C-alpha cells in the first residue's frame, strides 16, 4: 500500500510543477504577447463625430442645430442568433424579425452593420438594459430644424451622417461640417466604452453660418402664403422678400412645403425650392421693363400720349387686346391700367435690341448667383431677327420664363435707382458693391409710375398699406400646356416696393393656378399687402407720407 501513496504523491508534485511552470511562462516570459492580445480585445480607436455648425438667422435665432443621438450597430460574428436575443431587440428597435434575419444574412461575413441610426434616448436605454453581446451604441449627431416646414426648402437638410444634401445645408456644407477626431478607449465585453484612454486627435467643430433670413418675416410670409393658397384653391405659391439696398434675401417661402425634421426617403415636388427652380411666364409684371426701355430710349416720357383705341391692335395676323377701350392715355396710365395695346405700340416703335438688352441687364436669362444650389436661369431665347408679334407678346410677359427670385431681383433694381446689388443668402455686415443695370432717371420714373398702380385708379389698389406709400405691379398670365395655352389655368402675381420715399423692401408673390379667382389684383395683391405691412413693422421702418392719390385702408 505504501507504494501507492508514493505514486500519488509523485503525480501530485508533477502536475503542480507543470501548472507552476506554465503560470511562470505566461506571466513572465510571454507577458508582452498576452498584453497585446488583451489590448486587442479591449482597447479600441474610435472616431469621435464632429459637431456641425448651426445655421442662424440675421438676428441670431437658430434655424438648424445638431443634437447628440445614439445609433445602434451590430457585429454579426459576435451576436448570438437566438430567439431570446432577436425578439426583445427587434421589439426595442421597432423592426421586424424578418428584417433582422435578412440583415444578419447579408452581413454574416462582416463585423459591422447599422441596425438603426439616430434612435431616441428611450430606445438607447432599452438597448443598454438588454446588454446583448454584439449589439452596441454609437454616439452621433442629428440635425434639428426649429422652423419645421416654414423654411425647409431654403435650408435643405442633411443625411443620416449629418452631411448637407439640399439647400443651404448643401451649398455651405464645407463651412458647416467639422472634422471628426480619434480617441483610444477601453471597452467591456459588450462593446460599451468604460474608459477614455487617450485623445489621439481632437475633432474640429463646424462653423456657424449667419444667413440673411429674418425668421419673423419668414414665418409671416409662410403663414400668409399658406392661407392664400388654401383660400383660392391654388396649386402652389411662392413669396420672396428682398432688401434692395443690400441684396439680402430676408424671406423665401413656398407652399406646399415639407417638415425637414422628418426623414424622407425620396424626393417629391414639395421639397423643391420653387422660388429658385420653378419657371413661369410673368405676364403683366413684365410691362414695367417694357416701359422702362421706352423711357430709356428718350422717345417717350411718363406723360407721352398713347392711342389705345379701340381697345385692340393688329400685329401681323394677330390681335393684341385690352380688357377695355382705354382711348388716349399717358404712358403712366398704360402701366396703371395694364394696357397690352399701349406697351405693344411702344415696344414695336423701338429697335428690338433696346428692349432685349434691358431685360438681360436686369437679370432675365441668367442665374441670380445668390449661392443656392440648382438655381434656374429661366428660359429667354431670342432669335437673330425678332418677329413683331413675338416682340409684342414679350412686352406683356409671354414668350419668356422666369423664376420668382428673378422677378424680385428685377424689381430690386427699380427700387434701388437702377443699381443691382448681388443677391445673397448670407447676412451682410459690410457695404456691398452694386452695379448700374438701369438708367437712374428711368428707374426713378418707373418707381413713381408703379406707385400710381396702387391707387383707386390702378389695378393694384388691393396692395395698398395704411402707413406706407407702395409701388407695384399686378400680373396674370395664362399657363401653357401641351396643346397651347389653357385659358382656365393662370399664374397670379404681384411684386411691389415700399416705402416709396426710401425703398427698404421688395416683396414678390406668385400664386400658381388659383381656381376661385384668377387676377393677380385679387389673389396676390392682398397677400403682398399683409407681408409687406408686417415686415416693415418688424423692421421698425418709419411710415412715409401718403400722397393724395392714395387712401388709408
- Count of beta carbons in the 10 Å neighbourhood of residue 383: 8
Residue 3 lies in a domain: no
pLDDT of residue 42: 63
Residue 493 lies in a domain: yes
Answer yes or no: are the C-beta atoms of 300 and 445 closer than 8 Å. no
Residue 546 lies in a domain: no
Whether residues 497 and 358 fall in one domain:
yes
pLDDT of residue 553: 38
Whether residues 291 and 332 fall in one domain:
yes
Closest to 75 in 3D by CA, of 114, 112, 35: 112
Residues in the chain: 553
- Count of beta carbons in the 10 Å neighbourhood of residue 40: 9
- Count of beta carbons in the 10 Å neighbourhood of residue 344: 26
Whether residues 195 and 228 fall in one domain:
no
Per-residue model confidence as pLDDT tens digits over 225-243: 999 999 999 999 999 999 9
Answer yes or no: are the C-beta atoms of 423 and 435 closer than 8 Å. no
Residue 544 lies in a domain: no
- Tell me, yes or no, if 152 is annotated catalytic: no
Residue 1 lies in a domain: no
Residue 512 lies in a domain: yes
Helix (H) or strand (E) holding 242: strand 236-242
Residue 15 lies in a domain: no
Whether residues 321 and 399 fall in one domain:
yes
Rounded CA Rg of the chain: 34
Whether residues 301 and 173 fall in one domain:
no
Domain, as residue range, for 196? 46-210
Per-residue model confidence as pLDDT tens digits over 307-352: 999 999 999 999 999 999 999 999 999 999 999 999 999 999 999 9
pLDDT of residue 481: 83
pLDDT of residue 202: 74
How many whole angstroms separate alpha carbon 474 and alpha carbon 468? 18
Residue 389 lies in a domain: yes
Helix (H) or strand (E) holding 474: strand 471-481
Helix (H) or strand (E) holding 26: none
Helix (H) or strand (E) holding 410: helix 404-415
Whether residues 451 and 412 fall in one domain:
yes
- Residue 114's alpha-carbon distances to 72, 184, 449, in angstroms, are 6, 22, 64
Cis upstream peptide for 310 (omega within 30°): yes
Per-residue model confidence as pLDDT tens digits over 282-297: 999 999 999 999 999 9
pLDDT of residue 138: 83
* 92: CATH: 3.90.1310.10
Closest to 244 in 3D by CA, of 465, 470, 402, 408: 408
Residue ending a domain, among 210, 225, 244, is 210
pLDDT of residue 38: 53
Domain count, the chain: 2
Whether residues 111 and 252 fall in one domain:
no
Whether residues 236 and 308 fall in one domain:
yes
Helix (H) or strand (E) holding 33: helix 31-42
Cis upstream peptide for 499 (omega within 30°): yes
How many whole angstroms separate alpha carbon 546 and alpha carbon 411? 21
Indicate the DSSP class of residue 270.
G
DSSP for 73-89 reads EE-TTTS---HHHHHHH
Cis upstream peptide for 256 (omega within 30°): yes
pLDDT of residue 318: 95
* 433: CATH: 3.40.710.10
Q: Which three cell numbers stand for residue 415?
A: 427700387
Q: What is the pTM of this model?
A: 0.85
Q: Which three cell numbers stand for residue 370?
A: 445668390
Q: Which three cell numbers stand for residue 125?
A: 436605454
Report the percentage of the chain scoring pLDDT > 90: 69
Answer yes or no: are the C-beta atoms of 300 and 330 closer than 8 Å. no
Answer yes or no: are the C-beta atoms of 464 and 278 closer than 8 Å. no
From the candidates 71, 215, 257, 284, give the one annotated as an active-site residue: 284
How many whole angstroms separate alpha carbon 265 and alpha carbon 376? 25
How many whole angstroms separate alpha carbon 237 and alpha carbon 254? 6
Whether residues 336 and 308 fall in one domain:
yes
Whether residues 354 and 225 fall in one domain:
yes
Whether residues 179 and 138 fall in one domain:
yes
Q: Which three cell numbers stand for residue 383?
A: 432669335
Q: Which burial class, exposed, middle or buried, applies to 313 when counting CB atoms under 10 A from its CB (0-12, 13-18, 19+)? A: buried
Query: Which residues of the chain fall below pLDDT 70?
Result: 1-43, 45-47, 183-200, 263-267, 545-553
E strands, 30-180, are: 43-48, 55-56, 62-74, 113-119, 135-144
Amino acid at each position: 500500500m505504501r507504494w501507492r501513496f508514493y505514486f500519488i504523491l509523485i503525480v501530485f508534485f508533477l502536475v503542480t510543477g507543470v501548472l507552476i511552470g506554465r503560470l511562470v511562462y505566461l506571466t513572465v516570459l510571454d507577458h508582452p504577447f498576452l498584453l497585446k492580445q488583451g489590448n486587442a480585445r479591449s482597447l479600441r480607436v474610435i472616431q469621435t463625430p464632429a459637431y456641425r455648425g448651426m445655421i442662424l438667422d440675421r438676428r441670431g435665432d437658430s434655424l438648424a442645430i445638431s443634437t447628440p443621438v445614439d445609433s445602434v450597430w451590430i457585429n454579426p460574428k459576435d451576436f448570438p442568433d437566438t430567439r431570446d436575443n432577436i425578439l426583445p431587440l427587434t421589439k426595442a428597435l421597432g423592426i421586424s424579425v424578418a428584417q433582422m434575419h435578412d440583415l444578419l444574412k447579408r452581413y454574416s461575413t462582416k463585423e459591422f452593420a447599422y441596425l438603426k441610426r439616430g434612435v431616441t434616448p428611450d430606445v438607447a436605454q432599452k438597448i443598454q438594459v438588454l446588454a446583448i453581446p454584439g449589439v452596441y451604441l454609437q454616439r452621433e449627431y442629428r440635425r434639428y430644424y426649429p422652423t419645421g416646414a416654414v423654411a425647409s426648402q431654403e435650408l435643405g437638410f442633411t443625411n443620416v451622417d449629418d452631411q448637407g444634401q439640399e439647400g443651404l445645408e448643401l451649398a455651405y456644407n464645407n463651412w458647416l461640417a467639422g472634422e471628426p477626431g480619434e480617441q483610444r478607449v477601453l471597452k467591456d465585453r459588450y462593446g460599451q466604452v468604460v474608459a477614455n484612454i487617450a485623445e489621439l486627435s481632437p475633432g474640429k467643430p463646424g462653423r456657424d453660418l449667419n444667413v440673411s433670413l429674418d425668421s419673423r418675416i419668414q414665418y409671416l410670409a409662410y403663414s400668409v402664403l399658406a392661407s392664400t393658397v388654401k383660400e383660392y384653391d391654388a396649386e402652389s405659391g411662392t413669396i420672396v422678400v428682398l432688401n434692395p439696398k443690400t441684396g439680402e434675401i430676408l424671406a423665401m417661402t413656398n407652399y406646399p412645403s415639407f417638415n425637414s425634421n422628418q426623414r424622407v426617403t425620396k424626393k417629391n415636388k414639395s421639397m423643391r425650392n420653387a422660388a429658385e427652380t420653378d419657371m413661369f411666364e410673368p405676364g403683366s409684371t413684365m410691362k414695367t421693363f417694357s416701359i422702362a426701355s421706352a423711357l430709356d430710349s428718350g422717345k417717350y416720357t411718363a406723360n407721352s400720349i398713347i392711342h389705345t383705341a379701340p381697345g385692340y391692335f393688329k400685329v401681323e395676323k394677330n390681335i393684341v387686346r385690352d380688357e377695355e377701350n382705354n382711348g388716349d392715355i399717358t404712358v403712366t396710365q398704360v402701366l396703371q391700367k395694364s394696357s397690352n395695346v399701349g406697351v405693344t405700340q411702344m415696344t414695336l416703335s423701338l429697335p428690338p435690341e433696346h428692349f432685349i438688352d434691358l431685360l438681360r441687364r436686369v437679370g432675365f436669362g441668367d442665374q441670380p448667383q445668390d449661392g443656392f444650389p440648382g438655381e434656374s436661369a429661366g428660359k429667354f431665347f431670342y432669335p437673330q431677327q425678332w418677329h413683331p408679334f413675338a416682340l409684342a407678346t414679350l412686352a406683356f410677359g409671354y414668350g419668356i420664363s422666369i423664376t420668382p427670385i428673378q422677378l424680385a431681383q428685377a424689381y430690386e433694381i427699380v427700387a434701388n435707382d437702377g443699381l443691382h446689388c448681388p443677391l445673397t443668402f448670407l447676412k451682410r455686415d459690410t457695404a456691398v458693391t452694386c452695379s448700374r443695370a438701369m438708367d437712374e432717371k428711368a428707374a426713378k420714373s418707373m418707381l413713381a409710375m408703379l406707385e400710381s398702380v396702387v391707387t383707386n385708379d390702378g389695378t393694384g389698389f388691393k396692395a395698398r398699406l395704411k402707413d406706407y406709400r407702395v409701388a407695384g405691379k399686378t400680373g396674370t398670365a395664362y399657363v401653357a400646356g401641351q396643346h397651347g395655352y389653357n385659358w382656365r389655368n393662370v399664374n397670379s402675381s404681384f411684386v411691389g416696393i415700399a416705402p416709396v420715399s426710401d425703398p427698404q423692401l421688395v416683396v414678390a408673390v406668385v400664386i400658381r393656378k388659383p381656381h376661385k379667382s384668377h387676377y393677380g389684383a385679387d389673389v396676390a395683391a392682398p397677400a403682398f399687402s399683409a407681408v409687406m405691412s408686417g415686415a416693415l413693422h418688424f423692421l421698425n421702418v418709419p411710415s412715409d407720407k401718403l400722397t393724395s392719390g392714395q387712401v388709408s385702408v
